[in-house]
Structure 1
Amino acid sequence: MKDELNLLKKDKARLKELQYLVEMEEWITEEYEANYERLRLEGGHALSPEVKRQGLLQVLMYFRKMREVAETVTETEVKLTLPEQTSPKGNKFTIEGVVDIIREKDSTTMYDVKTHDADYVKANKEDYIDQLNVYTHIWQNLRNETLNGTAIIATQFPRTLKKAIDADEEEKLIRELEKWNPVIPIPFSQEKVEDTINKFACVVDRIENREFHPPSVDELQERIKGTKQRFATRVCRNCDARFSCDAYREYAQKSSSFSGGFAQYINDLGNSDEVENFTNTNAFETPPPNDINDLI
């Protein structure tokens, strides 16, 4: 009898847990839709149904995988500001960032959520170290609060996990979720903060002086660390200014894929998935509200 009661308690606990997960995912979906409509109305930009679906899946999978982190975040979207900075050429600028904070007993960890893939983050850690070093400097020196660790949460799916989601195979999905590790610890060093701020300052000077020099054709052809893609594919194909860029034009003319001359070059809207998403944007959706007040 005692064993049966224990089993009954376990079944009830499991049922309660499943009910909680269902309710949370329903809430996440509703909030995602509401936030999307607010951003669409405020910014005037829409997403195709597939791109929107992929965004929601990233949020849902993040909750499933990172539930412990998600439920223990004590401060979300904390705005960090380093004001009144001056560049070498006298330009004033401010560095700002947004992070999530988790406090557990005597430990505080800073998380920066990125829509990048984990392999790319691991292969290009220096880029993230520079950014988080500045955030750490702001947190510890300007806010006078101790920080015990920093990490990037890379929400983009590994290819194997994406295949499991698309195949809708629950067992395979569970296995791939277990293998997926989107949290990448990032070491921080206060010694590098000054150099990082100086890098920002030099970029500000170049922007103010309108020095917009594209990378060379050789750089466009290089593979980006942590990916199998060339710089031109990963970066330039997502740049709206590529058609007026001398380096990209030269790269395209040398590419064997551009055999149709100028007409093919100017009509290149990206890979087939990007073209389909662009074409289908809003095509199959129910007309959304036209006034942001309708969402309140």
Structure 2
Amino acid sequence: MREQDSLIRKDKAKLKEQMYLIEMEEWIEEQYNINYERLRLEGGHALSPEVKRQGLWQIILYFRKMREIAETVTETEVKLTLPEQISPKGNRFTIEGVVDIIREKNTTTMYDIKTHDADYVNANKEDYIDQLNVYTHIWQNLRNERLDGTAVIATQFPRAIKKALDADDDVRMHKEMEKWNPVIQIPFSQEKVEDTITKFACVVDNIEGREFTPPSLQKLQDRIRGTKQRFATRVCRNCDARFSCDSYREYAQVTNSFSGGFTEYINDLGNADEVENFTNTNAFTTPPPTDINDLI
């Protein structure tokens, strides 16, 4: 009898857990659609149904994988500010960032959420170390609070998961979800904080001085660590200024990227996924609400 009661309690707990997950994912979808329409009305940009679907699945899979962290976050979207900085050329600027904080027992961890993939983050950790070091400096020295660790959460799921999702293969999906580790621990050190702030300051001076020197041709041809893409493909083809860039024009001339000549080059609309999204959005999206107040 006791064994039977125990099984019943376990079944009830399992059912309750399943109902909780269903309700959470329904809530996520509802909020996603509301936020999407609000952003679409504010920015005037829409997504094709497929891209919109992928965005929703990215959030749902993130919740499934990161549920433990998501449910233990003690402070969300904490704004960190380093004000009144002075650049070498006398320009004033402020460094700002938004992070999530988890306090557990005697430890405090700072998480910075990125829409990047984990392989890219792991291969380019130094790009994130400087940023998190500044956040750590603000947290520990300006806010006077303890910090025990920092990490990046890379929410973009791997291509293998996307393939399993497209194939509706639950077994493969489970296997790939087990392999996926979107949390990348980032070491922090206060030794180079001043150097990092100086780097920010130099960028500010370049912007204020209208100095926008493009990367070299060699840089455009280099493969980006953690990817199979060249810098020109991953970065330049998403830049609206690429057709007035000497380096990009030279890259187009010395590579086989534009075998069709000048016509193909000038008609290039950028990343193929972006072009498909733009085309599908205009072709298949039905007119949504035109007044943002309808969503409030």
TM-score (norm 2): 0.97
**For the residues of structure 2 that align with 1:287 and 1:146, how far apart are their CA atoms?**
50
1:130 maps to 130
**For the residues of structure 2 that align with 1:48 and 1:83, how far apart are their CA atoms?**
40
Deviation at 1:257, TM superposition (A): 3.2
1:247 maps to 247
Q: Which amino acid aligns with 1:26?
A: E
SS of match in other structure, 1:191: coil
1:209 maps to 209
SS of match in other structure, 1:195: helix
Which stretch shifts more, 228-237 or 258-267?
258-267
2:152 maps to 152
SS of match in other structure, 1:202: helix
Report if the CA contact (8 A) 1:49-1:282 is conserved: no
Deviations 1:234-266 (A, max 9, x none): 111111111111111110122223122211101
Report if the CA contact (8 A) 1:75-1:101 is conserved: yes
SS of match in other structure, 2:283: coil
1:20 maps to 20
**For the residues of structure 1 that align with 2:233 and 2:102, how far apart are their CA atoms?**
37
1:67 maps to 67
Report if the CA contact (8 A) 2:85-2:94 is conserved: yes
SS of match in other structure, 1:103: strand
**For the residues of structure 1 that align with 2:91 and 2:272, how far apart are their CA atoms?**
43
Distance 1:293 1:87, change over 3 A: same
**For the residues of structure 1 that align with 2:3 and 2:31, how far apart are their CA atoms?**
42
SS of match in other structure, 1:85: strand
Deviation at 1:283, TM superposition (A): 3.2
SS of match in other structure, 1:94: strand
2:80 matched to 1:80? yes
Q: For residues 107-186 of structure 1, what are the structure 2 equivalents within 5 Å?
A: 107-186=107-186
Q: Which amino acid aligns with 1:147?
A: L
2:291 matched to 1:291? yes
Distance 1:76 1:282, change over 3 A: farther
Deviation at 1:282, TM superposition (A): 4.7
Report if the CA contact (8 A) 2:238-2:271 is conserved: no
Report if the CA contact (8 A) 1:132-1:150 is conserved: yes
Which stretch shifts more, 1-10 or 184-193?
1-10
SS of match in other structure, 1:225: coil
SS of match in other structure, 2:93: strand
Q: Percent identity?
A: 80
Deviations 1:105-159 (A, max 9, x none): 2211110000111111111111100000000111111111111110000011112
2:38 matched to 1:38? yes
SS of match in other structure, 2:220: helix
Deviations 1:53-106 (A, max 9, x none): 111111100000000001111111111110000000000000000111111122
1:274 maps to 274
Equivalent residues, number = 296
SS of match in other structure, 2:214: coil
2:21 matched to 1:55? no
Deviation at 1:188, TM superposition (A): 0.5
